[in-house]
Structure formats: C-alpha cells, structure tokens
Amino acid sequence: MLAAERRDHLLETLRRDGKIVAKTVAADLGVSEDSIRRDLRELAAEGLCQRVYGGALPVSPALADYSGRQTVAVAGKQLVASAAVRLVSPGSTVILDGGTTALAVARSLPASLSCTVVTHSPTVAAALVEHPTVDVLILGGKLFKHSAVACGAATVEAAQQVSADVFFLGVTGIHPEAGLTTGDADEAAIKRVLAGQAAETYVLGSSEKIGAASPYRVVPLESVAGIITDAPPESGTVERLREHVHVIPAGG
C-alpha cells in the first residue's frame, strides 16, 4: 500500500472510530508499526491528529486562535453557558476561566445576580463591566494572546490568594482516556492552580471538544465535580466519560 493510501485509511479510521490504534492498523494493513507511527507523526505535524501513546486521537478544533474560536460551535457554547449559570449561587465567588465559552458564561449571568467573579481573562472582565451587581477581580500577568488570558508566575501568585466556591474550567479536549487537555503547557499550569483554589470545578465542554485531545493534561477527570456538555447523552464517548465523572446535560 502506498503512503498516500495509508494516510487516507488512517484519516478515515480516525473519523469513523474516533481513534487510531497503531498496532491494530498495522496488522490490518500488513505493514510495520514503525510505518504507522511515521505516518501519524506526519499527520500530527499537519494538525490532522493528536498523537498519544499507542496511536492517535482527533485534534480539537478549539486549538484555533481566539478570533477563530469565536465562530466555532456558537450555539453549543451558549447551551453550556446557560447550564453553567444555573450552578452559580447568589453571593458566591466564582473563578471564570478564559476562552469563548467562559465569555458566554459571563454574558449569561443574570442582571439580578450578585456574586464575585475572579478571572485571568481581560475579555471576560470587560464583558462584566456593565453588570450591575457582579464584583470583578482580575488576575494579572503576561498576556497569552492565543487564548487572551494572563499566565505566568505573577498570575499563579495572585491566584493562590483566592478562595472560591466554584471554578468554570475551559479546555480544548475532553476524552475518556486522554482526560482534560489543552494546547499550551503554561496555560495548563494556571488552570491547575485555579482548580486548586475552588471548592468545586466544572468543565465547560461544548460538543466539539468531546472525544478530542490536545498535548497538555490539565487535571484528572475524577478530580472535577462535573462536565457540562451539549454533546448527545447517547454518544459512546459521553457514556465512557460517565464511568469517570458526572456529566451534566446542557440541552436546549
């Protein structure tokens, strides 16, 4: 089989099965695992898959830059945001992550709700400027432009002074095996710190992130209170996630 034919087969397997197991594909095609691993390296370099131990998983569309993500799964993110807002109690302190789904959460907070929002996202903070009863605490640091959030030592130091009731965590990949992942090591680190400062962490999981993976793990699935998602409850991936974590439907 030609390399181009193997490539097409791998992409079709990834689309159909949601994963590639290198050993299995190699046996099916009668080629060496080294050949398949080389093919997967090339596909990953083109951004067409996320390599993991033993094979590959779908790459998350949420790895696009911030402006590009604003047009991805807009309706699904709004469903997730609406479900997240219902978990915010009056008078509580909420840590709100960066990203477009977190921005939808900020914009969905009822005008009558009084609470404190802590965020390292300038865009989230700006969205709450006109909110009449939400106090906003901004965590500073070096701006990571890809996600429009502050990261680095100054952000970590500021975050460690916060104690919150709930953290709404944004990730780019949610997978039963790969876990909760994102595309940048420093961003993953600040997310871990923020999760450690809240009594409960809920993941903002619009459907395009379900079954996808990114390079850097954030926190274990078992450590969060739940994943809020608009993905179909009967999805095989959602059913497998339920073996590890509470899944909260965000249906319309």
- Asked whether the beta carbons of 64 and 82 are under 8 A apart, the reply is no
Is residue 151 over pLDDT 90?
yes
Most confident residue range from 19-23, 54-58, 220-224: 220-224
pTM here is 0.83
Rounded to 5 degrees, what angle do the CA atoms 108, 70, 229 make?
Answer: 60
Alpha-carbon 177 to chain mean position: 14
Span 215-228, average pLDDT: 96
pLDDT of amino acid 92: 98
Residue type, 117: V
Q: Measuring CA to CA, how many Å separate 92 from each of 43, 138, 185, 204, 223?
A: 45, 16, 30, 19, 21
**CB-count burial class (<10 Å; 0-12, 13-18, 19+) for 75:** exposed
Within 8 A by CB and 6+ apart from 52, the residues are 177, 178, 213
Instruction: Give the C-alpha separation, 56 to 21, whole Å.
Output: 7
pLDDT of amino acid 30: 87
pLDDT of amino acid 66: 52
Is residue 65 over pLDDT 70?
no
Instruction: Give the C-alpha separation, 242 to 93, whole Å.
Output: 28
pLDDT of amino acid 15: 83
* Residue 87, token pair as written in the block: 């978990």
Q: Which domains does the chain have, with CATH numbers?
A: 3-59 (1.10.10.10), 66-249 (3.40.50.1360)
pLDDT band at 251 (very low <50, low <70, confident <90, very high): confident
